[in-house]
Structure 1
């Protein structure tokens, strides 16, 4: 899908700035190799549903971030037979499993419910089975950590216990929340493990009142494991986030993460999901590929 003249001018301006900062003529090729573009299965309307692979292939996505499951199916990706089905679907469609997420933590809080400790531990095993590097831990709704020092303290203690297992497996547990960069860094310092990082969502940070461009500098390239590219119920280029500036900021801090960015909730109500996500995919390719 073609980009508008305005979008192309933005991309061209960013390219010129990035090229000027590049130490070599291989800058653009190197930057392109850094990022793969996927989408969250729940944003495609296929949460914890194997049909997400065929839909992602139709859109042209390179991968999908898959939800571990929910209470109704006992977080079914923990089952070997379900994992085999997902691996077969990935192979058949050519769509990679880019990362995992435990969305049910929003309803059954990691900060308080004892069941969730086993879920997070098991998610590391699932990540190893899929050969992925990142598991998103969601901290919203009932699991929100804002103005909850007791909840943060409990999360730190739980992460301390599970982090060594994640380290041995080469898996990163990514915290996605409304907390500030400084608050995220506090949790990471207290846990004291390289397996705990931030899963950065630009829209969530902006909605929380945080300066996303300053936060990228504060967190730096080593403390962010993966990215959500989101404009709630809007196409990416129709919202308020300055994505060309985001691209510049990521380039300036030398960000790499696990090389994946995921499109999330970037479709107007009533729009066709394939058309909307093909538009978003083309827009991000114009900026990052």
Structure 2
């Protein structure tokens, strides 16, 4: 996942840097060289120009859609946090109306607009329905939702595979390794995702307690892979 839109400290931008074809090529070439997929774009500039009330937010979103297409990316993560959170009904309605304006361009290019926020699954679906576009989905983060007090397993099952475009897997509290001292029942999360047939990307948005990025990433990755392996073996046994 590529974060997009942050200006260098003390500077402002008039266009998203990744709108440059030359820079896009650099990213594509490096991804190919490293053997990694670019799964999504996080429109990080929304932390500066939030979509709910800053006119620049809609501009950045519209500009990001062709960038996603050029990079072969299907999902744009649109964040709503801090002062740009959408806790009030009027804010959610405003975002839904902006989505309705922008969605046709995304639909034309096959790009999904993923909402990541601190509201409930039902509130997110209300935004999707008001937007009147199937390209607007939830970018579901189990850490954010559990921190807000929502039952993430129930929400995942209720949303189903067609309303979740991508996932963030992180613990609550965030400083913990996955499955080690946090409050999230990750085996139940993996079961829920398997049961609904979720087959999209899930990103590890995790902390680094040991300050060794590679070691901590591997530790969290192996934890998730072990859970998936157990679930797959159970599924195979049930079919046998």
Instruction: Pick from 110, 114, 121 the counterpart of residue 55 of structure 2.
Output: 114
* Matched ranges for 1:54-65 at <5 A: 65=1
Q: Which residue of 2 aligns with 1:123?
A: 64
3-state SS in 2 of match to 1:67: strand
Instruction: Pick from 135, 141, 160 the counterpart of residue 220 of structure 1.
Output: 160
Alpha-carbon distance between aligned partners in 2 of 1:237 and 1:211, rounded to the nearest angstrom: 16
* Shift, 1:69, TM fit: 2.5
* Matched ranges for 1:69-218 at <5 A: 69-72=5-8, 74=13, 75-146=16-87, 148-218=88-158
Give TM-score, length-normalised by structure 1. 0.73
Alpha-carbon distance between aligned partners in 2 of 1:106 and 1:142, rounded to the nearest angstrom: 8
**Number of residue pairs aligned between Structure 1 and Structure 2:** 221
5+ residue gaps in structure 2? 230-240
Alpha-carbon distance between aligned partners in 1 of 2:5 and 2:217, rounded to the nearest angstrom: 23
Is the contact between residue 3 and residue 42 of structure 2 (CA under 8 Å) also seen in structure 1?
A: yes
Q: Does 1:244 align with 2:180?
A: no
* Shift, 1:218, TM fit: 1.7
Alpha-carbon distance between aligned partners in 1 of 2:165 and 2:24, rounded to the nearest angstrom: 23
* Shift, 1:287, TM fit: 2.0
5+ residue gaps in structure 1? 1-64
Alpha-carbon distance between aligned partners in 1 of 2:75 and 2:228, rounded to the nearest angstrom: 21
3-state SS in 2 of match to 1:109: coil
Is the contact between residue 93 and residue 130 of structure 2 (CA under 8 Å) also seen in structure 1?
A: no
Q: Does 1:66 align with 2:2?
A: yes
* Shift, 1:253, TM fit: 1.7
Is the contact between residue 170 and residue 204 of structure 2 (CA under 8 Å) also seen in structure 1?
A: yes
Q: Relative to structure 1, is the Cα distance of residues 150 and 71 closer, same or farther in structure 2, using a 3 angstrom cutoff?
A: farther
**How far does the alpha carbon of each residue in 1:219-242 deviate from its partner, in whole angstroms, 9 at most, with x for none?**
111100000011212211212211
Is the contact between residue 107 and residue 141 of structure 1 (CA under 8 Å) also seen in structure 2?
A: no
Alpha-carbon distance between aligned partners in 1 of 2:71 and 2:106, rounded to the nearest angstrom: 14
Alpha-carbon distance between aligned partners in 2 of 1:240 and 1:153, rounded to the nearest angstrom: 32
Alpha-carbon distance between aligned partners in 1 of 2:228 and 2:101, rounded to the nearest angstrom: 37
**How far does the alpha carbon of each residue in 1:16-38 deviate from its partner, in whole angstroms, 9 at most, with x for none?**
xxxxxxxxxxxxxxxxxxxxxxx
Is the contact between residue 105 and residue 137 of structure 1 (CA under 8 Å) also seen in structure 2?
A: yes
